[in-house]
Amino acid sequence: MRQKLVVGNWKMNGGFAFNAALLNDIKSGLNQANCGVAVCVPAPYLAQCQLALSGSKIAWGAQDVSAHESGAYTGEISATMLRDFSCDYVIVGHSERRSYHGETDNLVVQKTQRALAAGLTPIVCVGETLQEREAGQTDVVVSRQVNAVLEAIDVAEVERIVLAYEPVWAIGTGKTATPQMAQEVHASLRATLAKKESGAAVKVQILYGGSMKPDNAQELLAMPDIDGGLIGGAALKAADFLAIVQAASGGR
């Protein structure tokens, strides 16, 4: 049985005072969480997170990682540096990185490999644009994105990844995939995983991301292949984030 997982992706938001209040409110409101909880914060605040969250039930991570191990790569942050701050997770291949920073499937693969090699759990994001959905290309696009990763990693590593289905048209737009639409893609992602490793396919958590909020979380999380959420906007408000955690805790 898969445990549900709720991850906040703070994107480029926050500041010392804001983070301190948000982390404190999340920590103190998290009494009955019966699911995994994590926050992926801007890299400069990893130390603050480590201090605030050590010993709590909340894990933390970064939003990107370098494809390189170390060396002359100005501005990059390596996977081992993230481990130095006790990160458990790192988001790779977010659509904002793919579209604004030109990240290719191949680069996402390299970042995933670096994360795995350093002992991090990569949260590998996949998702189609509105144009691709309207052209009936959703399955083709997300299977291409996930297969690129699956072909490059060992069978034993498959169960060490988390997948996130984030339809690009639903991110930050207030438009959410219906539970049925999301479930269809999640089921197809699980079938793709099963072709690589059937044992791992039942273990890998597949999160949904894209305008998940307290008022739609429960019905999305009730779907058999939706194992949690990758939350943007609603992760910046403790009450909203906690309500989604609660919805995930009441699930299977």
Task: Give CA–CA dist 242/39, Å, rounded.
Answer: 12
Select from 37, 201, 212, 248 the one that contacts ligand 13P (CB under 6 A): 212
Active site residue 94: yes
Q: Does 38 bind ligand 13P (CB under 6 A)?
A: no
Q: Which of 94, 96, 132, 157 is catalytic?
A: 94
The DSSP code sequence of 180-225 is HHHHHHHHHHHHHHHHH-HHHHTT--EEEESS--HHHHHHHHTSTT
DSSP designation for 75: T
Q: Does 232 bind ligand 13P (CB under 6 A)?
A: yes
Q: Does 231 bind ligand 13P (CB under 6 A)?
A: yes
Q: Does 209 bind ligand 13P (CB under 6 A)?
A: yes
Closest residue by Cα to residue 35 from 239, 238, 233, 226: 226
Q: How far from each other are the two terminal CA atoms of the chain, in whole angstroms? A: 8
Q: Does 157 bind ligand 13P (CB under 6 A)?
A: no
Task: Give CA–CA dist 204/127, Å, rounded.
Answer: 17
Active site residue 166: yes
Q: Does 210 bind ligand 13P (CB under 6 A)?
A: yes
Q: Does 233 bind ligand 13P (CB under 6 A)?
A: yes
CB closer to ligand 13P out of 94 and 111: 94
Q: Which of 96, 103, 166, 197 is catalytic?
A: 166
In 3-state terms, what secondary structure has residue 149? helix
What are the residue numbers of the active site?
94, 166
* Interacting residues toward ligand 13P by CB under 6 A: 9, 94, 166, 171-172, 209-212, 230-234
